[in-house]
Amino acid sequence: MSYTSPLLAVPGAVEAGAPDQGVAAHYGDPLREQRLLARGSAVVDLSHRGVVTVSGPDRLSWLNTLSSQLLLNLVPGESTETLLLTVQGRIEYSPKVVDDGATTWLLTEAWEAAPLAEWLNRMKFMLRVEVADVTGEWATVGSVAPVDRFAGNLTWEDAWPNVRTGGYSYSVVADGSHPGRERPWREYLIPRVELAEAVDGLQLAGVMASEALRIAAWRPRLGSETDERTIPHELDLLRTAVHLAKGCYKGQETIARVHNLGHPPRRLVFLQLDGSQHTLPVRGSDVVVGGRSVGTLTSVGQHYEMGAVGLAVIKRSVDPEAALEVVDGDERYAAAQELIVATDAGQVVGRPAGLMRGGRL
């Protein structure tokens, strides 16, 4: 179903393309909007995203048995994220989670809400839970800093890049210097019919701005950094979305086996792209070393300070010092890679302490 945000009627608004169609890419000055967003002085319309609710007394224990995160003790107002995996440990759904004491709210990508609600409804059995796709009633707005006007709204706060209890970091950088710390992200739930009024008078930024900040924060996104083969280890998602010591759930065997004994076959990498061509390659372009394709450009944007940047998923075996190229048709873009997931990620059994950092178990 197509969607058009009421905020596209704001003067200067230019609609975004996939996967963010229906909201504004920008409102006339994307780099200025990005600077304001980074400083906490603007908000982003995310009303094209999905919202699913799970209510009933068994909701948290039920969701806990289905997903990768420990949800049993989630307190009202606490935010987390979880993964629903295939038996092979591949990512199917990646909802953001916040509970209000009576209902668990799952914030999703636009295309994710309906199939997620349908899948959850098939899994209810005799439990006391009710699942609903409430995308038509609720919208989300994003920001870096708290917005006083939304102080009373239910808010999801991104834990990235902290390593949650039970999680594990595959990054080679110290947590204190992780670039994600410059983007303390929040998403506010707002009744959809009140969206235009709720943001009236606030500075708006388009999704071009929020996507560039997400890329710079090394934050993976479902449907962008993921495909039908993705396992969480490849994207450093064990730090925020997986609890390594919780009970059984579908896909847990792969999570444990790769983490303890193996290595993820691919790894997420940050790219600093050559900006001299004054264009950007498209998402899905090949990442090439020596004329051989080694991965895919998954996200790309123009950062207000760093210029052209991207995220890519490449083979684990690629030399971290190798010069990369991104190939988009006849255009070739030189790309310097910066490690997000370590080349030797995984295989923690027998690993000397301190090489990569686990959370509290």
Domain 265-340, CATH:
2.40.30.110
4 dihedral zone (left: phi>0; alpha: psi -120 to 50; beta): beta
DSSP string, 111-154: TTHHHHHHHHHHT-TTSS-EEEE-TTTEEEEEESS--GGGTTS-
For residue range 56-91, list pLDDT tens digits in order.
999 999 999 999 999 999 999 999 999 999 999 999
Q: Note the pLDDT tens digit of each residue in 201-252.
A: 999 999 999 999 999 999 999 999 999 999 999 999 999 999 999 989 999 9
Averaged confidence pLDDT in the chain: 95
Which residue is associated with the tokens 């994600």? Answer: 180
Please state, for a pLDDT cut of 90, what percent of the chain lies above it: 92
Question: What beta strand segments (E) does 226-285 contain?
Answer: 266-273
Residue 360 pLDDT: 41
Three-state DSSP state, 35 = helix
Fold of the 6-216 domain? Gyrase A; domain 2 (3.30.1360)
What is the spatial distance between Cα 159 and Cα 297, in angstroms, rounded to a whole number?
Answer: 25
Q: What SS3 class is residue 336? A: strand
- Where in the chain are the domains? 6-216, 265-340
- pLDDT score recorded for residue 125: 86
Query: What local confidence, expressed as pLDDT, does residue 50 receive?
Result: 98
CA 303 vs CA 2, 208, 214, 219: distances in Å: 29, 9, 10, 14
The pLDDT assigned to 353 comes to 54
- pLDDT exceeds cutoff 90 at 167: yes
Task: Enter the pTM of the model.
Answer: 0.96
107-141 burial, b at 16+ Cβ within 10 Å, e below that, comes to bbbbebbeebbeebeeeeeeeebebebbbeebbbb
- Confidence grade of residue 165 (pLDDT, cut at 50, 70, 90): very high
How far is 359 from 84, CA to CA, in rounded Å?
Answer: 21
Rounded distance between C-alpha atoms, residue 207 and residue 26, angstroms: 7
Question: What per-residue confidence (pLDDT) applies to 78?
Answer: 97
Q: pLDDT band for 1, please (50, 70, 90 cuts).
A: low
* pLDDT confidence tier of residue 357, bands split at 50, 70 and 90: low
- Provide the pLDDT for residue 172: 87
Query: How many CB atoms sit inside 10 A of residue 320's CB?
Result: 12
Q: Could you give phi then psi for residue 158, rounded to 5 degrees?
A: -70, 125
- Measured CA to CA, the distance from residue 56 to residue 60 in angstroms comes to 9
Nearest Cα neighbor of 20 from 36, 37, 4, 38 is 4
In this structure, are residues 110 and 49 in contact, taking their beta carbons and an 8 Å threshold? yes
CB distance 78 to 87 below 8 Å: no
Give first-to-last CA distance, the chain, whole Å. Answer: 43
207-216 helix and 30-38 helix, angle to the nearest 10 degrees: 60
The string of pLDDT tens digits covering residues 83-137 is 999 999 999 999 999 999 999 999 999 999 999 999 999 999 889 999 999 999 9
| Burial annotation 348-357 (CB, 10 A radius, 16+ → b, else e) | beeeeeeebe
Distances from the Cα of 143 to the Cα of 44, 147, 158, 297, angstroms:
6, 8, 11, 26
